[in-house]
Amino acid sequence: MKPKRLSSVTRSVDLAYPTNRAIVIISLLFFLGTACLQLILGKEIFSALESGLGAGASVFLAWAFARELDPDNEFSAFVAAFLGCTGFLLFPPPFLLALFLELLLIRVINRSTGLPAKTSDSLAILLLSGWISFQGEWAFSLFTALAFFLDSFLPEPNRCNRVFGGIIFMISLLAFVKTAGKESILMDIQLGLFVLAATLLFIPRVLRSGKIKSRGDLTGIPLDPLRTQAAQLTALLNAILFAALEGWAGIESLMPLWGAVLGVALYGNLKVLLKRLSKAPLTD
């Protein structure tokens, strides 16, 4: 008999699977390379390890987000990992705890494990989201409320999450009042163009997710296309709203998520383009 799982939203990384083994190796190499470089540059060992952890996590999280957003195309996740690596090298370190929360929220909606979130999962997510919100980032409790409400109304609804959604929505209001004096940054032209371009590139991937071949990790049952599309749109919406509130700092904080959005979009659109070109008739 298999031991009872403590969580329905966490996913194991099976190292027997080649692509899983590859991303773990890539993440470890980026971690070690960044940490060693920081030591060579004279940083203290703790600071060097912290930078290395951020580097490895950025690559792995970009890959993990892409696997959730584009479950039928495992290689698009490596495009996302490359963009996550590039983002870490070019921009300040991302907000890892918020990214972890976002990953859990996507899994609550798309049920990539095949199972609905347990009550203990929802409680843990609520506590994590509330803590982040009262650190000055109230938007994340609003994102969490949206995920809970979607999970409670989409096919095979988890109605318990309506209660958790209501609680975290109230927390988001309290956190907003607490941080009401915090300056918000409206999108400038360059930021708006970046967000618009990413959205236009990503939407075709959402539309093509009306049919999903991938199955839940624990059930072997095909994933629900509507839930997959809802998770894709929620991830994009959360990233856009945080960018609207924080400006370019909001993009940088969620860079692995943006790397996944762009990686999935670029890979998917390129794949469609090449398929069409291969079918195009030859002309003189």
Q: Average pLDDT, whole number, for the chain?
A: 91
Enter the DSSP assignment of 155.
S
Reference 63, options 75, 80, 83, 85; nearest CA is 80
Reference 252, options 18, 96, 24, 73; nearest CA is 96
Would you state the pLDDT for residue 178?
80
179-195 pLDDT, tens per residue? 765 555 567 888 999 99
* Global model pTM greater than 0.85: yes
d(CA 233, CA 220): 24
256-265 pLDDT, tens per residue? 999 999 999 9
Would you state the pLDDT for residue 4?
63
Would you state the pLDDT for residue 76?
95
Residue 3: is its pLDDT beyond 60?
Answer: no
Reference 253, options 107, 139, 91; nearest CA is 91
Q: What are phi and psi of 29, to 5 degrees?
A: -65, -40
Intra-chain end-to-end CA distance of the chain, in Å: 65
d(CA 82, CA 62): 8
Would you state the pLDDT for residue 184?
59
Question: DSSP H helical segments within the chain, as ranges?
Answer: 18-40, 45-69, 76-90, 96-110, 119-133, 139-153, 160-178, 189-207, 225-246, 248-253, 255-279
Return the higher-pLDDT residue of 238 and 271: 238
DSSP helix/strand/coil, 222: strand
Which tokens sit at 95?
A: 């907000």
Max mean pLDDT among 36-45, 172-181, 269-278 falls in 36-45
Would you state the pLDDT for residue 281?
63
pLDDT range class, residue 62, cuts 50, 70, 90 = very high
CA distances to 19, 80, 238 from 73, rounded to whole Å, are 11, 12, 23
Enter the DSSP assignment of 158.
-
Check if the beta carbon of residue 228 is closer than 8 Å to that of residue 34: no
As a whole number, mean pLDDT of residues 214-224 equals: 92
Which tokens sit at 177?
A: 């009042």
